[in-house]
A and B are shown apart, each in its own frame.
Chain A
Amino acid sequence: MIEIQQPKEVIAPDGKQYSYLNLGPTHPATHGIFQNVLKLDGEVIVESTPTIGYIHRAFEKLAERRPFGQITPITDRLNYCSAPINNIGWHMAVEKLMGVDIPKRVQYLRVIIMELARISDHIICNAVIGVDTGALTGFVYLFQQRELVYEIYEEICGTRLTTNIGRIGGFERDFSPKAWEKINRLLKELPEVLKEFEGLLNRNRIFMDRTIGAGGISAERALNYSFTGPNLRAAGIDYDVRVMNPYSSYQDFDFIIPVGKNGDVYDRYMVRQEEMWQSLSIIKQAMDKLPEGSYHADVPEFYLPPKEQVYNNIEALIYHFKIVMGETEIPKGEIYHCVEGANGELGFYVISDGGRTPYRLHFRRPCFIFYQAYPEIVKGSMLSDAILTMSSMNVIAGELDA
């Protein structure tokens, strides 16, 4: 007769009985492919072990075989919630390597696009914080506005999520009147919805009870973990690349850097919320001050000539061929260029040996760097807070795994 074996109870040396839970990799509440093995004492997290790399696509290796212009689509897939910032950051890195002067108009147009991207990224993050606390309504309203941002991208470059926006040296064409119309529509409609959204959550007793004190990190620890972006600012450090190392004429605009105090979920939410208002203000300023001029710099090695010229002008034909085949000459050099991505300092470290592709390209991905603090942050908190912490840190799988 077969004896039925009962599972043995595992008792830890301290006399407690822990349970282990696999959070992810494909759990809907993790909003991406993240795996965390949680060691739980009741509902309290004792230990968390994250595993990353589920969507690793070897971008740094791929980039070593791609001409500079063809690396832009790779950067789309880093932080895919705000792809234009990555694209433009990469363009600016190459321009810095080549030492190109960029017309003021291009810089202002870039600022408009980058701030739109920041808004759409923060919309996702904050709306999802709402969802994870049980408030689905705000999510639906804000996502309607995110759709407007995507329609603007569509009007400018023809794509929505992975935008591949612009070219090295500027934009492939000027913004159409339809694009300006859509930007104006967003500037008119978003503030109303944003106010409504804030009315729903900012002073909501349930939301505040749920988020204040959850997932907090001190300023010292945040700095030691090299936090950047809204997560660092929520902890009380006013580090913003747009102000510290202004790029693309950010010094021309008036805006404030919102900072939090406790570095918890509520502060991160509030910092992002205020940043959206600041972004709106920057877009308005850029539109008011928008200078006349060309929408691209004079870099024939990178800027595809107009089609009529390709068919009728030998020089344009040569450049067209060279750009498409990736045969442009790049000076030797080593540069680091960083932009303020939606999640923090997004850096491009490029070494060029004069070949057609970079010798080495390293992305400083803010998500990869701050996600390692997650086990420390969630230690001792409840399981439901851990989910909220992850969505409030806005960890994007594409940027994490590169």
Chain B
Amino acid sequence: MMEAADQQKICAVINEKFEGEIVESGMIRDFYTIVLKKDKITDIIGYLYHHAETKFQFLTTLCGIHYPDQNQIAVMYQLHNLHTNQRLRLKIFLPQDRPEVNTLTSVFAAANWMERETYDFFGVNFIGHPNLKRILNVEDMIIHPLRKEYPLEDQTREDKNDSMFGR
């Protein structure tokens, strides 16, 4: 659980150099989350990495989320400050038809495969990534399977009535 003072401090650090980049911020359950504009995400994370008051120097994880209703793909970054044990989640929203964002590999070496995984499953193009190709799926696959438009089961099946048992 992050104190309100710490939350304000993080926002202040971002606003110091990147005025107007924060779209919204708030606690989601026990996790402080900031939604940012997509253009300067690498610079902001790099700034939070080096700034003496934040020092988010550990990338816990990174993943994509598809919202077909809003035609958006979100990318979620989870950072961790191991000195003060504070965790921070950053989110950006990209347009579904052309998801592009700068790579984080210049800040965290660990972002390499995580971004490749996100590219593989959501088709997010990480600009400047040293080796952006599929990682878990076969290379000649033509879809990005975790997007919601690719249903898991054969939708032509008639022996199951989905109106009774939900999604």
Contacts and interface: CB of A to CB of B under 8 A. Distances in A.
A333 B27 CA distance: 12
Contact of B166 (A58, A61, A356): A356
Most buried by A among B66, B110, B166: B110
A368 B58 contact: no
Contact of A53 (B58, B135, B153): B135
B46 interface: no
Interface stretch (A118-126, A128-136, A345-353): A345-353
Contact of A226 (B30, B60, B121): B60
Interface residues of B, number: 38
Given A52-B136, A336-B78, A226 B110 contact: yes
Contacts of A27: none
Interface in B20-50: 28-31
Closest 4 CB pairs of A and B: A226-B110, A53-B136, A364-B61, A362-B63
B152 A327 contact: no
Given A345-B60, A369-B113, A334 B29 contact: yes
Interface in A317-370: 325-327, 333-336, 338, 345, 347, 349, 351, 355-357, 359-360, 362, 364, 368-369
A224 B106 CA distance: 10
B72 to A, nearest CB: 13
Contacts of A401: 136
23 contacts: A52-B136, A53-B138, A56-B136, A58-B145, A60-B121, A61-B152, A65-B167, A226-B110, A237-B82, A244-B82, A245-B85, A333-B28, A333-B29, A335-B31, A336-B89, A347-B78, A351-B65, A360-B65, A368-B117, A369-B110, A372-B110, A372-B113, A401-B136
Interface residues of A, number: 45
Main secondary structure on A side of the interface with B = mixed
Contacts of B138: 53
B21 to A, nearest CB: 22
A239 B80 CA distance: 11
Given A56-B137, A60-B121, A244-B85, A224 B110 contact: yes
B94 interface: no
Contacts of A161: none
Contacts of A65: 152-153, 167
